[in-house]
Amino acid sequence: MLILTCPCCGVTAEETEFHAGGEAHLKRFGPGSADAEYEAYMFNRKNPRGVHFERWRHVYGCGKWFLAARCTMALEVFGTYPAQTHEPPAEIVAKIKSKRPEWEGFA
Amino acid sequence: MSHRLPNGGRLIQRGTPRKFTFNGKPMSGFAGDTLAAALLANDQMLLGRSFKYHRPRGVVASGAEEPNALVELGTGDRFEPNQRATTTELFDGLTAASQNHWPSLNFDLLSLNSLVPQFLTAGFYYKTFIQPRAFWKHVYEPIIRRSAGLGKAPSDKARDPDRYEQIYAFCDVLVIGGGIAGLQAALSAAQSGVKVVLWEQTAHWGGRAPVDGVEIDGNPAEDWIKTTLQTLDSMPNVQIRTRCMGAGVYDHGYVLGYERITDHAPQLDAPRHRLWRMRAGKIITATGAIERPLSFAGNDVPGVMLASAMRDYLVNYAIAPGAQIVVVTNNDDAYRTAIAARKAGIGVAAVVDARAEANGALPAQARELGIRVLTGKGVRKVKGGKRVTGVELCRIESKGNAHSEVLDCDAIAMSGGWSPVVHLWSHCGGKLIWDESGHFFRPDPARAPLGADGAGFVLTCGAAHGDLVAVLAGAHAAGQSAGNATATPAPATDSLPEEAALEPVWIMPRAADYDLRMKMWLDFQNDVKVSDVQLAAREGYHSVEHTKRYTTLGMATDQGKLSNINGLAVLSDALGQPIPATGTTTFRPPYTPISLGAIAGEARGAAFQPLRKSPIHDWHDANGADWEPVGQWRRPYTYLRAGEKRDDAVNREVKNARENVALLDASTLGKILVSGPDAGRFLDMLYTNMMSSLKPGKCRYGLMCNENGFLMDDGVVARIDEQSFLVHTTSGGADRIHAWMEDWLQCEWWDWKVHTVNLTEQFAQVAVVGPKARQLLERLGGMGLSRETLPFMEWAEGKLGEFDARVFRISFSGELSFEIAVPASQGRAFWDKLMTEGADMGIMPYGTEALHILRAEKGFIMIGDETDGTVIPQDLGLNWAISKKKDDFLGKRGMEREAIVNPARWKLVGLETLDGSVLPHGALAVVPGLNANKQARTEGRVTSTYYSATLGRGIAMGLVERGPERMGEEITFAGKGDKRIKARIVDPVFYDKEGAKQNV
Amino acid sequence: MSDLAISALPGAEFEGFATVAEAGLQGMITLRGDLGAVAKALSDVTGCNVPATRKITQSGANAVAWMSPDEVLILCPHDAAPAMETRLREALAGAFATVATVSDARAVFTVTGPAWRDALAKLCPVDFSTLGAGDIRRTRAAQVAAAILVTGPDEVRLICFRSVAQYMFDILSSAASTGSEPALYP
Ligand SMILES: [Zn+2]
């Protein structure tokens, strides 16, 4: 069972205090978008073996959503950061690169 | 015969006798005994029957690894099967019984299974019970069920009377195992000041060291154990706990510990078990090692024991396993048992050593004591059935066709070497390496389980690490490393006599014939023999995991603690490959079985799950409420009067609401405040219709869809003021919709200025419904409620009598209706007041079933009945609630898809049976022919169906293919079996189509 | 209105190795907004400063607990809450802030006695050695949400939703029951 640190309230807590929300940094496609865009938004997920960015909500705590960079194989947590961003912060990207040189980077 | 020696026994208190029964027979032992020790003291060698062949079985081991000595403990509500006698501490009044025999332990008819050699070999079930099919039910199943299986389940009437609990704890270093390695590791870690917890699964500290004669700094280990414990006990940063087993290691340093608080003392008023949910920075497993049996014919006969176990019984409990023993070994360690036995005055017929020579210190000591040592020899077969009577020997390098010698004995000690307990290391991904000198798998420190920071979080020490001698130095290093300590005092030095190398012997004799191999047990608990694993290999089972499933090697409650390595070795030999190439099966938690009570913890009985109660719950309960679960809420389905049937009560409530005045406790309805400059804009995105145009003081019904365009919730929105709205959700939807709102606000539109506050429980909400509703409320006095002052679909705030009220003129029943919210603390008083004031008007409460009928008569949809997660608003004729003016709202893009705009979708209609009967719930409308999956073709289904007391007939709503275009058409619904019911498609509004009654 | 108003489990009390009691009616107001921007209004109306992250501030009968980066919970006497809500609204007029009385949405329990940590450790996945007087920790107790306010060395107040008051009282009582002392916290 994972432990995560909520960047919004600073609490480090076990997984049962959080709610997992799937892949992070999805781009919403609304009315007028092409079928392929809508499909990508709604259904296509990376599901990587390795570095992954995901959504978590501190549901039994401050109630805030945040994002986590995590290795789905080793379960190593590279970092957590507030949800109000379209891409992972530079320092987290740098940390992942140093720990996983083979990582292709955030796309 | 096994018996108690007149002296000795380091763990027993001879002055404190303990009485117990086994299979009804009174027996006695001493405080400090395990049940296994006490049974052996009473010469109870035969403890049970094996799983498949029902062979007689006795104690093999002395601890958690025991595969055979499984007994039923307790009776009635406290009955438990499959309890290990070796880990059960004796207490006064303990009742135990053997299991797996029929009709009795001594005479078991099913032991005939073992007379037919080919019966129940590897894969037997798969191969044998295929045809004829009919035999399954009447022949195979009953026979297999009687003969196989482990123990019997408690009675379904039994209710566990004990308490159980869980607890969360945190530490820097958790040390699991209280032998000398664990004690040293805890000490070395704690000296740096970090928080250390040490668990020991038994009631005693020190592990095997005192039994094996380990010396520490030249003194008996016992002295060092005592002082070390005192030191640990005095350190404020250390907590030590016995009877607490490390059950499993999980991600990020999470460990489950299983503490057995009252198993040894049931008279204590305390929880029976406590499950520790520990989060540790680092974990040190000092879990020791388990001795391996040797595979020779008849190695399962009662009286054949692990050499270390025999030594434990001798030293710890003063138990002589017999008058004359034989020790069979491939290593020096087992000589300790021969020496201990001889010193205790027990006859030692010989030590049978498979090695060509035995010249170490221990064999020398044995010879000095006059013990006969036979090298290059092995056991051909054990003589005896229900207990050992002797042993036939042969050359180790032979087929075992003839014996070289026969020795009389009544107990045999066997030792095939040791295997580190690597379970906890492995649970979370720690990898193993094959140790070429010790011939065992041990943890590979380079491939430890990884924690949240990407670093290894489990260390091992002592025998669990593969250090069978001189363990303190390694334990000290592990403790220092885990505790991040630098300059801590050097550890003491532990020493044992030098031992010569072990020589692996996986079957005995090495070239044994089939008739011997099929009597060599690998897995005692599952009755798996050397021949079974060899057969599996011949049949193509090359993966160890497949072989496990095919042969059942290493399954059931002991999970192969004794059989694992021996089984792997036999499989590897059959496959012609080295053991590391075969690998091990996966080690999974728990280490030994833990009670379901501990897993449930506090979640049982009334606390099984939270039960949510409205502020008026107690009134309902005292007034005939027939409760219905609505999520975690309990709501009255109806209120039963004395002698009244459910249906009659519901019909009474419906009629009363239409004719008089009735109350519904609507407190469970979701109420979410949405406030801020962008609140209207936000609600326009959330709802399919326009909300920003709503005027303060007004109410509007709205629909929420997910991004697929599927309907997910509905309800009335009331505009409070320019910047705030009160959103009503369904009872089940409050938390979900609140989370949905926060998700969009925090993760997508984070620059919008909107706050949400979930006010669901702040208010008690009461629907006052019926033609006399206004008349009743006006009796309370206060705010104006006339049609002109408060028209339909408006709301107002004020005083109703003494109560602080928000009154919403909304109706889910079609009647004149006021939904009144008061602070939850006033809810009960408000309800009481209404019931009193309305008494002479015939006021009644109504429950959820009447609520459903009233709304169905009006054709109002219900989320969860008319919707199932694949229904769009258009399916329900709610196109009017989908704004065409808005560029965007959640679900709009999803509604543009081909399948969604398909005109042939099933759409909402009313349904009237031709005979007036009530359609079955969920009934499908069938049409002749079969679909592509060869199932009956269907064209619709019933979504809501009730008896309408108002109309005196069955009414229903359903989704029917192109339904609204087929008004008046008759279609056929499937009932039970071949029954078919004709129904006519009608308008879904059955009552007061003009809406005259609600708008008065 | 106090004669009409009742708390969730009036008078409920359990004595074990810690004492569990329902605390009666408690005024509570949720204030959401930029905590820096609302600070003056908050202190004008309640006398309390904006608490630091996961802290509680106090002034007389009022206290303010940090709930999230944009939310605090004001605690005050139950019958004072409606007027305080109105004053806060007035003081915050024009600001992007939301005020709502939530007194009755919750139930409040006190857990008292030196071993309160040992009782709560059975229900909450929290390292209570890190909490002291003046701290608030939002977490779960068994299966429901809870906010734990440490009000003194030997007392905490636990706030949960009103609907689960009985569940909370039951699990707290069983966690604190005599004979089940885990001797976890010193
Ligand atoms: Zn948080």
The Cα of C44 is separated from the nearest Cα of chain A by a number of Å equal to 25
How many Å lie between the alpha carbon of C168 and the closest alpha carbon of chain B? Answer: 8
Provide Rg for chain C, Cα atoms: 17
CB contact under 8 A, A11 and C54: yes
Q: Which residue of B has its CA nearest to A1?
A: B251
Residue indicated by tokens 């740098």: A94
β-strand partners of B958: B909, B942
User: Of the candidates B608, B561, B611, B568, which has an alpha carbon nearest to the alpha carbon of residue B587?
Assistant: B561
CB of B274 within 8 A of CB of C182? yes
A64 touches chain C (CB under 8 A): yes
**Secondary structure (3-state) at B236:** coil
Residue to mutate among B447, B746, B886, with most A CBs inside 10 A, is B746
* pLDDT above 70 for B76: yes
Give the structural domain span for A92.
9-25+35-99
B337 and B374 together in one domain: yes
Spell out the residues 6+ positions from residue B664 whose beta carbon is closer than 8 angstroms to its own.
Answer: B766, B767, B769, B845, B846, B847, B851
Question: Percentage of chain B with pLDDT > 70?
Answer: 96
Contact between residue B715 and residue B728 where contact means Cβ atoms under 8 Å apart? yes
Distance (angstroms) between ligand 1 centre and the Cα of C68 equals 7
What b/e sequence results for B330-365 when a residue is b if at least 16 CB atoms lie within 10 Å of its CB, and e otherwise? Answer: bbbbbbbbbbbbbeeebbbbbbbbbbeebebebbeb
Q: Is A8 on the interface with C (CB under 8 A)?
A: yes
Is residue A45 a part of any domain in this protein?
A: yes
Separation of C70 CA from ligand 1 center, angstroms? 11
Q: Give residue C33's Cα distance to chain centre.
A: 20
Q: Which domain holds residue B532?
A: 520-582
CATH number at residue B146: 3.10.20.440
Q: Does C32 touch chain A (CB under 8 A)?
A: no
Count of beta carbons in the 10 Å neighbourhood of residue C94: 5
The reported pLDDT for the residue numbered B413 is: 98
Q: How large is the average pLDDT for residues B164-182?
A: 98
Contact B50, B528 (CB under 8 A): no
Tell whether B357 and B435 lie within a shared domain: no
pLDDT band at B114 (very low <50, low <70, confident <90, very high): low
Same domain, B155 and B169: no
Cα dihedral A96, A97, A102, A105 sign: positive
Q: Is the pLDDT of residue B450 over 80?
A: yes
Q: Which chains touch B (3 or more CB pairs under 8 A)?
A: A, C
Backbone angles phi, psi at C128, to 5 degrees: -70, -10
- CA atoms of B477 and C88, how far apart (whole Å): 61
Residues from chain A that touch B684, judged by Cβ atoms under 8 A, are none
C145 and A CB contact within 8 Å: yes
Q: Does A17 contact C139 at a Cβ distance shorter than 8 Å?
A: yes
DSSP, res B725: E
The count of domains in chain A is 1
B115 pLDDT above the threshold of 80: no
> Which CATH superfamily, name and number, covers C13-24+105-175?
Probable tRNA modification gtpase trme; domain 1 (3.30.1360.120)
Quick check: C68 contacting A, CB < 8 Å? Answer: yes
User: Which residue does chain C place closest to B261, by CA atoms?
Assistant: C180
How far, CA to CA in Å, does B554 sit from each of B72, B231, B424, B526, B568?
22, 40, 17, 7, 10
A interface with B, Cβ–Cβ < 8 A, is 1-3, 14, 19, 21, 28-33, 35, 38, 41-42, 55, 57, 59, 63-65, 71, 74-77, 83-84, 99
Q: Which of B522-526, B921-925, C1-5, C102-106 has the lowest mean pLDDT?
A: C1-5
Q: What is the tens place of the pLDDT at every residue in B395-440?
A: 999 999 999 999 999 999 999 999 999 999 999 999 999 999 999 9
| CATH classification of the domain holding B660 | 3.30.1360.120
Distance CA A23, CA A42 (A): 11
Q: Which of residues B108 and B483 earns the better pLDDT score?
A: B483
**B48 and B131: one domain?**
yes
If you count DSSP H runs as helices and E runs as strands, how many of each does chain C have, helices first? 4, 11
Question: Measured in angstroms, how far is the CA atom of residue B874 from the centroid of ligand 1?
Answer: 40
SS3 B518: coil
Q: Which of B653, B743, B740 has its CA nearest to residue B704?
A: B740
Q: Of B108, B142, B159, at which residue does a domain stop? A: B159
- Asked if A83 and B747 come within 8 Å (Cβ–Cβ), the reply is yes
Q: Closest chain C residue to B760 measured between Cα atoms? A: C105
Same domain, B826 and B803: yes
Q: Which of C31, C106, C122 to mutate to test the interface with B (most CBs of B within 10 A)?
A: C122
Query: Which distant-in-sequence residues (6+ apart) come within 8 Å of C67 by Cβ?
Result: A62, A63, C30, C73, C136, C138, C147
Compute the Cα dihedral for B379, B381, B384, B390 and give only its sign: negative
pLDDT (mean) for B589-598: 96
> Does residue B598 lie in a domain region?
no
Mutate to test the interface with A, among C72, C137, C138 (most CBs of A within 10 A): C138
CA of A82 to the centre of ligand 1 (A): 10
Q: How far is the CA of B433 from the centre of ligand 1 (A)?
A: 42
Task: Report yes or no on B312 lying in a domain.
Answer: yes
B265 φ/ψ sector (left φ>0, alpha ψ -120 to 50, else beta): beta
Are A61 and C126 an interchain contact pair (Cβ–Cβ within 8 Å)? Answer: no
Confidence of residue B102 (pLDDT cuts 50, 70, 90): low
A105 located within any domain? no
The answer to whether B455 and B447 have CB atoms below 8 angstroms apart is no
Q: Give mean pLDDT, residues B942-952.
A: 97
On whether the CB atoms of residues B416 and B293 are closer than 8 A, the answer is: yes
The closest of B652, B993, B680, B614 to B828, measured between CA atoms, is B614
C-alpha distances in Å from residue B61, one per residue of B64, B293, B411, B506: 8, 10, 13, 19
Residues B466 and B570 in one domain: no
Instruction: Say if B884 falls within a structural domain.
Output: no
**Cis omega (within 30 of 0) for bond into B823:** no
Out of C78, C105, C129, closest to residue B761 by CB: C105
Give the pLDDT of residue B278.
Answer: 98
Instruction: Report domain extents, chain C.
Output: 13-24+105-175, 27-104
pLDDT digits (tens, 9 = 90+) for A33-68: 999 999 999 999 999 999 999 999 999 999 999 999
**How far apart, in whole angstroms, are the C-alpha atoms of residue B685 and residue A30?**
11
Contact C163 B613 (CB under 8 A): yes
Same domain, B973 and B989: yes
Q: What is the CATH number of the domain that holds B577?
A: 1.10.10.1100
* ipTM, two decimals: 0.98
One-letter amino acid identity for B387? Answer: R
Query: Is A3 within 8 Å of chain C by CB?
Result: no
- 3-class state of residue B379 by DSSP: strand
Residue of C nearest to A65 (CA): C68
**Is A75 close to B743, i.e. CB distance below 8 A?**
no
Q: What pTM was estimated for this model as a whole?
A: 0.95
Average pLDDT over residues B969-996: 95
Q: Is the pLDDT of residue B121 over 90?
A: no
Domain count of chain B? 7
Residue B793 token pair: 């679909």
Instruction: Determine whether the interchain pair C184/B613 forms a contact, defined as Cβ–Cβ distance below 8 Å.
Output: no
Residue A1 belongs to a domain:
no
* Mean pLDDT in residue range B272-280: 98
**Partner chains of C (3+ C-beta pairs under 8 Å):** A, B
User: Over chain A, what is the mean pLDDT?
Assistant: 97
Q: What is the pLDDT of residue A16?
A: 97
Give the CA distances from residue A25 to residues A69, A104, C39, in Å, rounded to whole numbers and listed in that order.
11, 17, 34
Q: Which of B760, B790, B813 is the last residue of a domain?
A: B760
Centre of ligand 1 to C-alpha A76, Å, is: 20
Statement to judge: residues B777 and B657 lie in one domain:
yes
Mean pLDDT, chain B, whole residue set: 94
Confidence tier at C1 by pLDDT (50, 70, 90): very low
Q: Are residues B945 and B832 in the same domain?
A: no
**Strand pairing report for C19-22 and B405-408:** unpaired
Contacts of B823 (CB under 8 A, 6+ apart): B762, B763, B764, B804, C1, C5, C101, C103, C104
Chain A, nearest residue to C148 by Cα: A61
Q: Residue A71 belongs to a domain with what CATH number?
A: 3.30.2270.10
Q: How many CA atoms lie within 13 A of B99 on its CB side?
A: 25
Span from the CA of C37 to the centroid of ligand 1 (angstroms): 21
C130 C-alpha to center of ligand 1: Å? 16
The stretch B715-721 carries a mean pLDDT of 98
* Residue among A9, A10, A17 whose CB faces C140 most closely: A17
Residue C69 at interface with chain A, using a CB cutoff of 8 Å? yes
- Distances from the Cα of B325 to the Cαs of B332, B395, B413, B619, B823, in angstroms? 17, 20, 7, 75, 82
Stretch C86-115: mean pLDDT: 97
Cα B166 to averaged position of ligand 1 atoms, centre (Å): 24
How far is B614 from B87, CA to CA, in rounded Å? 48
Confidence of residue B110 (pLDDT cuts 50, 70, 90): low
Same domain assignment for residues B407 and B427: no
Of the listed ranges A37-46, B354-363, B491-500, B620-629, the least confidently predicted one is B491-500
Does residue C143 belong to the interface with chain A, where contact is any CB pair within 8 Å?
Answer: no
- What local confidence, expressed as pLDDT, does residue B147 receive? 61
| B846, B849, B855, B856 alpha-carbon torsion, rounded to 10° | -150
Residues B725 and B717 sit within 8 Å (Cβ to Cβ): yes
B116 band by pLDDT with thresholds 50, 70 and 90? low
Which residues of chain A make contact with B897, given a CB cutoff of 8 A? 35
What band does B469 get if pLDDT is binned at 50, 70 and 90?
Answer: confident
C77 Cα–ligand 1 center, Å? 28
Residue B688, classed as helix, strand or coil, is coil
CA of B207 to the centre of ligand 1 (A): 44
The answer to whether the Cβ–Cβ distance between C174 and B803 falls below 8 Å is no
Residue identified by tokens 């229903």 is: B956
Can you give the CATH number for the domain in which B674 is found?
Answer: 3.30.70.1400
Strands, sheet with A19-23, edge to edge from the N-terminal-most edge strand? A19-23, A51-57, A65-71, A77-82
> Do residue B246 and residue B200 come from a single domain?
yes
pLDDT at B435: 96
Average pLDDT score over residue span B962-967: 96
Domain with residue B314: its CATH number is 3.50.50.60
Domain match, B140 and B254 both: no
Query: In the predicted model, is pLDDT for residue B576 greater than 90?
Result: yes
Burial class (CB in 10 A: 0-12, 13-18, 19+), B538: exposed
Q: Answer with the one of B456, B479, B512 that is the final residue of a domain.
A: B512
Q: What percentage of chain B has pLDDT greater than the value 90? A: 88
Rounded to whole angstroms, the Cα distance separating B218 from B206 reads: 16
- Is residue B866 a part of any domain in this protein? no
CATH of domain C27-104: 3.30.70.1520
Q: How far apart are CA B689 and CA B879, in angstroms?
A: 10
Could you tell me where the beta strands, DSSP code E, fall in A10-91? 12-14, 19-23, 51-57, 65-71, 77-82
**Cβ-based contacts of C68 with chain A (< 8 Å):** 8-9, 62-64
**C137-178 pLDDT tens trace:** 999 999 999 999 999 999 999 999 999 999 999 999 999 999
Q: In the predicted model, is pLDDT for residue B969 greater than 80?
A: yes
pLDDT band at B1000 (very low <50, low <70, confident <90, very high): confident
CA of B294 to the centre of ligand 1 (A): 56
Dihedral, CA atoms, B303, B306, B311, B317, nearest 10 degrees? -60
In 3D space, the residue among C128, C111, C174 whose CA is nearest the CA of residue B165 turns out to be C174
Model confidence at B49, pLDDT cuts 50, 70, 90, reads confident
Residue B566 lies in a domain: yes
Asked if pLDDT for residue B51 goes beyond 80, the answer is no
Closest CA to C146 of C42, C70, C73, C57: C73
Among A14, A31, A99, whose Cβ lies nearest the Cβ of B892?
A31
